[in-house]
């Protein structure tokens, strides 16, 4: 198994964005979901990311957002991918077009329907009733591993990942990439850059 890609999600401060970009993760995620403590707007994200190295993929996270607003936000913020983290339909995906990732929660969604989405990758996250993501709730690694084996698209693992468990998660699930948010924070919305660095190192030097 090759080295998994690493995405640092829920970046919502300019100083964090700059410091994390210097560590060269494969991707960074920005949450466009107003109820979230990590919510951002397109203008500030555009200003933060304008000088990012080109190899860092910039991802916008949306929850049940109208496709027209997803498209306008992607353009204004200068993002590469739309990550849909709610109850979006196949029709929504087709209207948005471009590069799309779809988040799945196996405890509330049927895996048999998941591959029908016209998307480029899946992200499997832990489910929590209080929030659609970023809660630190672990996904069921056994079920995700089965899905990874069966999927014809890249699968990212999210949910409850931390410096002290990501190596085991990679070994067990064998995902295309790993996604972390709350697991590398000092507090909701404020990243611990030391933890971010250690997380990336654990993934790449295990």
Tens of pLDDT along 13-43? 999 999 999 999 999 999 999 999 999 999 9
Query: What is the domain-level CATH number for residue 109?
Result: 3.20.20.70
Does 109 score more than 60 pLDDT?
Answer: no
pLDDT tens, position by position, 183-200: 999 999 999 999 999 999
Burial of 125 (0-12, 13-18, 19+ CB in 10 A): buried
Q: How many domains does the chain have?
A: 1
Find the domain containing 57 and state its range: 5-204
Alpha-carbon dihedral of residues 186, 154, 141, 31, nearest 10 degrees?
Answer: 30
- pTM here is 0.93
Residues annotated as catalytic are 9, 125
């Amino acid at each position: 198994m090759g080295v998994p890609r690493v995405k640092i999600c829920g970046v919502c401060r300019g100083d964090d964005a700059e410091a994390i970009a210097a560590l060269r993760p494969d991707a960074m995620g920005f949450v466009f979901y107003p109820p979230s403590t990590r919510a951002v707007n397109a203008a500030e994200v555009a200003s933060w990311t304008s000088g990012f190295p080109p190899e860092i993929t910039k991802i916008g996270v949306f929850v049940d957002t109208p496709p027209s607003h997803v498209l306008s936000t992607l353009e204004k913020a200068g993002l590469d991918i739309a990550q849909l983290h709610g109850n979006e339909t196949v029709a929504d995906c087709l209207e948005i077009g471009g590069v799309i990732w779809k988040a799945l929660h196996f405890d509330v969604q049927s895996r048999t329907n998941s591959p029908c989405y016209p998307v480029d990758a899946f992200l499997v996250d832990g489910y929590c009733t209080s929030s659609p993501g970023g809660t630190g709730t672990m996904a069921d690694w056994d079920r995700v591993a089965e899905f990874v084996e069966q999927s014809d698209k890249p699968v990212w693992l999210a949910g409850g990942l931390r410096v002290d468990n990501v190596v085991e998660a990679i070994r067990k699930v064998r995902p295309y990439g790993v996604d972390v948010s709350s697991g590398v924070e000092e507090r909701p919305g404020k990243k611990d850059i030391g933890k971010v660095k250690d997380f990336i190192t654990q993934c790449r030097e295990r």
